[in-house]
Amino acid sequence: MPENPLSIPPRSMRHRLLGLLCCALFGAGCAAVPQTRVRLPESPATSPAVSAINTALASVTPSKSTSSADYQLGAEDLLEITIFNVPEGGVGPIPRRVEVRLSQEGLITLPLLGDIPAAGLSTAALEQSLRQRYDEFLHDPQVGVQVKEYRGQQVSIIGAVGRPGLYQLTGPRTLVDLLSMAGGISEKAGSQIYLYRQGPQGRQSYIIDLLALASNPGAVNMPVQAGDVITVPLAGVFFVDGAVGRPGAFPLTGAYTLTQALAVAGGVNETLASYSDVSIFRRRAGTEPEKIAVDLKEILAGKVHDPHIVPEDVIIVPMSTAKYIVERFLGRIGLGGIPFPSVF
């Protein structure tokens, strides 16, 4: 006879929930915890003028590090789909070559197959999907996908650039390409760029060092995607990302301490933050960027000094994997008033 969950003693229920938590933590590698990626140079240059940075960026061949294979299809793109082992006349209802445009929902419609999801895929990924679908009708179908028109994909650039605004992606583009399209970096810009991206696994943030991008673009330059938001803050700002209320770049209008800077960023997310693993990335003249490890619990308890923030500091408040698992998975389970054991 099935066990009645109402008859389980509270202590037993707590033990079972703790066991469930351990299993969830064991599989945490499969959970998509939002990440921040800090791209800092291994050996930074010595504070060149912005004009020198723009000169270096202008010397980079556009899209040299990106191929059309990296491009992600989006709404209103026009595709030409060819099935190479079908004669020109076609095989029944299957044409050899057809042009289709992605709908606003990211779908294409093909004979026999109907609606096929295509947005967010590369051409190679779509070819693989179509081969699998046409395999039901053809022996070893050979499918090719070519983008005929790039439409409806925008990237936003704001901050200290020549021409901030929305820019259309008319093919594969990199960060350097977009900065060039936006008129280059302003004389008032700081030394870092902030890029937000909303992906299938949640929001991701990239912090790119401008000096590294100028001195070694081949290693730091990265492809941009539709929907990316690129921010080039003015000098005299600090960055906050991770488990806070409002991640982003903020002007350093006073002598802020770490806790004050976090308050400006909307405060720490108590549910998800890993208080003991906070980091401050700081550039020092003539040296490699320094990572300063901070235990926020010790600061809040008054046991250690609350460090001051300097311009262009990057503050990262990581998410605790354990807290993320509890919030995302176990937090949705009705516990009937039974207190959950403290594990943090």
What CATH number should be reported for the domain holding residue 262? 3.10.560.10
Residue 220 burial by Cβ neighbours in a 10 Å radius (0-12, 13-18, 19+): buried
Question: Which of 13-22, 44-53, 138-147, 284-293 comes out lowest in average pLDDT?
Answer: 44-53
* 311 and 204 together in one domain: no
Please state, in angstroms and rounded to a whole number, the distance separating the CA atoms of residues 256 and 252.
7
Number of domains within the chain: 3
* 113 and 206 together in one domain: no
Give the phi and the psi of residue 100 in degrees, each rounded to 5. Answer: -135, 150
Residue 273: inside a domain, yes or no?
A: yes
Choosing from 149, 181, 210, the residue where a domain stops is 149
* 96 and 189 together in one domain: no
- List the domain range (segments joined by +) for residue 127: 72-149
Amino acid at 298: E
Q: Work out the average pLDDT over 313-336.
A: 63
Residue 343: inside a domain, yes or no?
A: no
* 60 and 200 together in one domain: yes
- pLDDT of amino acid 258: 94
Pairwise pLDDT comparison (60 vs 74), residue with the higher score: 74
Pairwise pLDDT comparison (324 vs 231), residue with the higher score: 231
- Helices marked H in 27-69: 50-58
Pairwise pLDDT comparison (55 vs 276), residue with the higher score: 276
* 241 and 229 together in one domain: no
CB 168 within 8 A of CB 77: no
* 140 and 155 together in one domain: no
Choosing from 187, 216, 234, the residue where a domain stops is 234
* CATH number of the domain to which 128 belongs: 3.30.1950.10
* 55 and 155 together in one domain: yes
Choosing from 149, 174, 192, the residue where a domain stops is 149
Name which of 147, 150, 145, 184 is nearest 169 in CA terms: 150
Model confidence over 269-280: pLDDT tens digits?
Answer: 988 888 999 999
Name which of 232, 236, 224 is nearest 164 in CA terms: 232
Residue 307 has pLDDT above 90, yes or no: yes
Please state, in angstroms and rounded to a whole number, the distance separating the CA atoms of residues 219 and 96.
41
Cα 67 to Cα 26, 57, 72, 253, 280, distances in angstroms: 38, 19, 11, 42, 35
Residue 339 has pLDDT above 70, yes or no: no
Residue 236 region by backbone torsions, left for phi larger than 0, else alpha for psi between -120 and 50, else beta? left
CB 248 within 8 A of CB 203: no
* 210 and 228 together in one domain: yes
Residue 23: inside a domain, yes or no?
A: no
Residue 14: inside a domain, yes or no?
A: no
Residue 2: inside a domain, yes or no?
A: no
Give 126's Cβ-side CA count (13 Å radius). Answer: 31
* 200 and 120 together in one domain: no
Give the phi and the psi of residue 333 in degrees, each rounded to 5. Answer: -90, 130
* 126 and 94 together in one domain: yes
CB 116 within 8 A of CB 110: yes
What percentage of the chain carries pLDDT values higher than 70? 71
Residue 48 has pLDDT above 50, yes or no: no
- pLDDT of amino acid 219: 76
Give the pLDDT band (50/70/90) at residue 231.
Answer: very high
* 189 and 320 together in one domain: no
Residue 107: inside a domain, yes or no?
A: yes
Residue 215: inside a domain, yes or no?
A: yes
**Hey, what's the torsion of the CAs at 195, 269, 321, 199, to 10 degrees?**
-30
Strands (E), 52-159: 78-83, 97-101, 107-110, 114-117, 143-149, 154-159
Model confidence over 82-97: pLDDT tens digits?
Answer: 999 888 766 678 888 9
Residue 17: inside a domain, yes or no?
A: no
Model confidence over 121-157: pLDDT tens digits?
Answer: 989 999 999 999 999 888 899 999 998 887 767 899 9
Max CA pair span of the chain: 80
* 279 and 297 together in one domain: yes
Where do we find the tokens 């800090």? 38
Residue 75 has pLDDT above 50, yes or no: yes
